[in-house]
Amino acid sequence: MPQRIPVVEKILSANDRLALENLFRLDAARVFAINMMASPGAGKTSLIEETVRGLEGRLRIGMINGDIATSFDADRAQAAGATAIQINTGGDCHLDAVMVQSALSQLDLGTLDLVVIENVGNLVCPADFKLGTHKSVLVASIPEGDDKPYKYPGMYRGVNAVVINKIDLLPYAPFRMDFFKKGIEVLNPGVTQFELSCRTGEGLSGWLAWMEGQVKEFKKNPGK
Amino acid sequence: MPQRIPVVEKILSANDRLALENLFRLDAARVFAINMMASPGAGKTSLIEETVRGLEGRLRIGMINGDIATSFDADRAQAAGATAIQINTGGDCHLDAVMVQSALSQLDLGTLDLVVIENVGNLVCPADFKLGTHKSVLVASIPEGDDKPYKYPGMYRGVNAVVINKIDLLPYAPFRMDFFKKGIEVLNPGVTQFELSCRTGEGLSGWLAWMEGQVKEFKKNPGK
């Protein structure tokens, strides 16, 4: 009988260990980090741009942008005023703790309050790889449709907040908000939710206040 | 020095072998098959619904729907008039040839002209797993943004046709069609393209004619 080689298990626990190292490093530097996940085109980069602009002068923000290819997103974050590091994963469909460790080394953590990590656009794989952030956020969007929590439960289950972006498209795209929210409620009861539009600015103030509050709360007692 | 174990290579070649078996089986039954891929919410299921309705009485269509969870898509395809088999991948982020082999066994191929396989919503992983279909189609959509070919090159490179869905949202979402098409042209020169809206019906006739033509061409000489 051939020996079974537990490859996946080994990789995952190595990733978890490294994720914990990233978290300790962030705590020591008193830098709060979030992992921002979404399907392609939900508006992660737009939300990050608005966050960097909206919190300018109040929080010092660094960015880590994960993509299969290009540095478009880091370019955009940089243009909005953040220090941005681009990770090109080659073909990989998610970021992992090793990639983030390497990117953190390229940021001057002593000059930052918040690091926003933009994961690869994917509603499946990123859920399985911890990065070592304090919180994780899922960005959904109206034109994606209202059935996504039901079809991608792993992603909706594990996050600390759900942002529903592109609400300016509600008049033009079929979307049952009640059905969508019912799906979220089953998977992640009571999770913090924001309805907003990066394009029109509607609802952004609530998100910005939450983000700033999260960082302030963390700063009082890092690593608690 | 530890021995390197080429796990990935083995898995891939087993998948390729099975994909070829699926293709032979479809050829023998004179059934044309397409692999439909897209990011979550681009409109694969809507396009399939319109295809089933639009070709009713002209092609006998079977469906295989892949999702992490739920049978929403198979239910929709069935309601539109197709025989539909739902594959729930559990956590897997793509379909593979084994799953399709099993689903093909549940379809009565002798009664079908076309099998449409709806892959898991994901712009990364499905590109790496052949299913044994004759053609593959990528469904993009306007609100996803115009940078997707650049950021997900693996997916755009390998397909036989690109459908640009939700063109009814062009007035409401920022999208540079020239920039988008330039990205496609670099990765996949001359690839067949359709601009349409499943919601308004605009542009659907070109897609339906192409689909029907593909099946007719195949039927003249299956397995050529």
Instruction: Tell me the per-residue pLDDT of A84-102, one tens digit each, with 9 for 90 and over.
Output: 999 998 888 999 999 999 9
CB contact under 8 A, A151 and B93: no
What is the set of domains in chain B, with CATH numbers?
A: 7-220 (3.40.50.300)
Q: In chain B, which stretches have pLDDT less than 50?
A: 1, 6
Whether residue A140 has pLDDT greater than 60: yes
Testing the interface with B: which of A10, A152, A200 to mutate, by most B Cβ within 10 A? A152
Q: Report the gap between the CA of B54 and the closest CA in chain A (Å).
A: 21
More confidently predicted of B109 and A10: B109
SS3 category, A109: helix
CB contact under 8 A, B122 and A123: yes
CB pairs under 8 A between A and B: 120
At residue B1, the pLDDT reads 47
Which residues does B142 contact at the CB level (< 8 Å), separation at least 6? Answer: B164, B165, B166, B167, B169, B170, B173, B175
Testing the interface with A: which of B120, B124, B166 to mutate, by most A Cβ within 10 A? B124
Evaluate whether ipTM surpasses 0.90.
Answer: no
Q: pLDDT class for A10, splitting at 50, 70, 90? A: low
pTM of the predicted structure, to 2 decimals: 0.88
Question: Tokens representing B42?
Answer: 């681009």
Element at B105 (helix H, strand E): helix B97-105
Give chain A positions within 8 Å (CB) of B143: 41, 141, 143, 166, 169, 173
Distance CA(B8)–CA(A173), nearest Å, equals 41
At residue A83, the pLDDT reads 87
Distance CA(A188)–CA(B74), nearest Å, equals 26
Report the percentage of chain A scoring pLDDT > 70. 95
B99 close to B89: Cβ distance less than 8 angstroms: yes
SS3 category, B89: coil
CB contact under 8 A, B124 and A123: no
Give chain A positions within 8 Å (CB) of B168: 172
Give chain A positions within 8 Å (CB) of B7: 5, 7
Read out DSSP for A150-179?
Answer: HH-HHHHHS-SEEEEE-GGGTTTS---HHH
Nearest CA in chain B to A168: B172
The pLDDT mean for chain A works out to 92
CB contact under 8 A, B124 and A120: yes
CB contact under 8 A, A150 and B199: no
